[in-house]
Amino acid sequence: MQQFKKTKLFKVFLITGIFGLLVFLNPKSFFNPVRRGFLFITYPLQKTGYSFSASFVGLRDFLDSIGQLKTENEKLLAQNQQLISENARLHDIEKENVILRDQIGLLPRERFQFEAAGVIGQDPSGLGNWIEINKGSNAGIKEGMAVVVSKGILIGKIQEVNLNSSQVILLTNSKSTVNVMTSQNGAKGVIKGRYGLGIIFDMIMQTDSVNIGDEVITSGISGVVPRGLFVGTVQEVHPSEDHLFQQAVVSTPAQISKLQFVFVIKQNL
């Protein structure tokens, strides 16, 4: 026995046993102070590493896109013209909406206070579970706050807050759930992540109508994530495994893996 205790295999078994138990018990909050300390010290290095990577990616994307610039430009011009006309129409509707709200005594729609943040790290497993941003408790960031890009496309929620950085759990994470609805028919449900395989719009009542191309927005039911944030468009609709609900595959316009800046919704104004 004494001889065995000196062997490599014994050391391997011992370490694996102790840390295997830790994996199983998963005492999340126990190591948080240590994590915060390390993240605080290495914050400048992480920030530099990410911006260094972003410069490389920018150069690579530029070289890749040279051949496609002409066709992409034509496509964007057409899209731009379409958006200009739609924008003008929406401005008119907005004015009309303000007048009508005023007449029936409704409060104005929600407007948010944004906190701009840079991305300094990503989930290295490739699952696209989370990103890390360079704003933390010293910038007033709190757990559960919604994180958006382009000031309106929801990408996730704040999960863990450190002093000068925060972990954002993305919509593609299986632990992330957000109450949503379709803007066309108001069909309600929740969106869940599928381990880097996309986003699922789940728990849609069989009686509700959901079609391919419908826009999915947050419903604001839980109160944590504000109403009206764009999540994505419906790509596919099918019944759930137990046939009690409908499910839809949602595609988000945000390119999560190439994110460099995001906005945290701190509060409704």
Q: What separation, in Å, do the N-terminal and C-terminal C-alpha atoms of the chain show?
A: 69
H helix or E strand, kind and range, residue 168: strand 166-170
* Minimum CB distance to another protein, residue 35 (Å): 5
For residue 256 the two structure tokens come to 């999560």
Picking from 162, 164, 83, 154, the residue whose alpha carbon sits closest to that of residue 118 is: 164
| DSSP letter string, 234-265 | EEEEEE-TTSSEEEEEEE-SS-GGG--EEEEE
253 near another protein, judged by CB under 8 A: no
Q: Are 173 and 193 in contact (CB under 8 A)?
A: yes
* Minimum CB distance to another protein, residue 11 (Å): 7
Site for another protein in 69-88 (CB under 8 A): none
Interface characters, 120-149, with another protein (x: CB under 8 A): xxxxxxxxx-x-x-----------------
Site for another protein in 215-244 (CB under 8 A): none
Instruction: Please name every residue paired with 233 in a beta bridge, in sequence order, or none if there are none.
Output: 215, 251
Stretch in the footprint of another protein (CB under 8 A) among 12-20, 110-118, 142-150, 244-252: 12-20
3-class DSSP assignment, residue 202:
strand
Stretch in the footprint of another protein (CB under 8 A) among 88-96, 113-121, 207-215, 227-235: 113-121
Where along the sequence are the contacts to another protein (CB under 8 A)?
8-9, 11-12, 15-16, 18-24, 26-27, 30-31, 34-35, 38-39, 42, 45-47, 49-50, 52-54, 56-57, 119-128, 130, 132, 160, 167, 174-175, 194-197, 257-258
